[in-house]
Chains A and B, each alone.
Chain A
Amino acid sequence: GESVGLHLPTLSVQEGDNSIINCAYSNSASDYFIWYKQESGKGPQFIIDIRSNMDKRQGQRVTVLLNKTVKHLSLQIAATQPGDSAVYFCAESNKPGGKLIFGQGTELSVKP
């Protein structure tokens, strides 16, 4: 069946280092991917998205990479800060606005 999963459930990094959070998906028809950040007790916050016709997209301190060959998505956070500590979810759908399928999430912990 369709699924989106994360390789690592937890990730601990030192403040100032770069973080890489990975996500695998199984539906080759997925066309749209989103990364969300969720702080404890709050709703998910949109970080960045990417369509399947792109390999890379950059935002402020974040980069999303999409490898369709191996069905892999990653989120890179540059110069990780304590405020980046949260659970990060990837989500995919077969079209923008379609049903989103969420992965389990990766908890990022930033050590000062």
Chain B
Amino acid sequence: DGGITQSPKYLFRKEGQNVTLSCEQNLNHDAMYWYRQDPGQGLRLIYYSQIVNDFQKGDIAEGYSVSREKKESFPLTVTSAQKNPTAFYLCASSIVGGSRETQYFGPGTRLLVL
């Protein structure tokens, strides 16, 4: 089955700790994205990458970091600098070029602070 996987489903962070959320896709998509969703709100873009070894900040990048060493993988690190990390984190991917570059989403990771 082709798709996007995120792990873990739930993640607990202690104060001052960095945690890393995994996102993998086997859709052969060039672009990958990380969004944050707070209760009752829409999605806000954290980081995105359109090609391996390159990524750009989204609207709320502070306190987060990413890497894109492989086309299939786009891990997100929530650093201790992110003071309000509790949220639902969604990874998405899309093709680049063409007439319909719809973003497809993974199942999400819920991050909770202990």
Contacts and interface: CB of A to CB of B under 8 A. Distances in A.
Given A89-B43, A103-B42, A51 B99 contact: yes
Given A34-B102, A104-B41, A97 B97 contact: yes
A97 B107 contact: no
Name the prevailing secondary structure of the B interface residues: loop
Interface stretch (B61-69, B70-78, B79-87, B88-96): B88-96
A43 B106 contact: yes
B55 interface: no
Interface string A78-112: 00000000000101000011111011110000000
Which size class do B's interface residues fall under? 20 to 34
A44 B106 CA distance: 8
A59 interface: no
Interface residues of A, number: 22
B34 interface: no
Contacts of B110: 41
A45 interface: yes
A53 to B, nearest CB: 10
A44 B48 contact: no
B101 A96 contact: yes
Interface of A: 4, 34, 36, 41-46, 49, 51, 89, 91, 96-100, 102-105
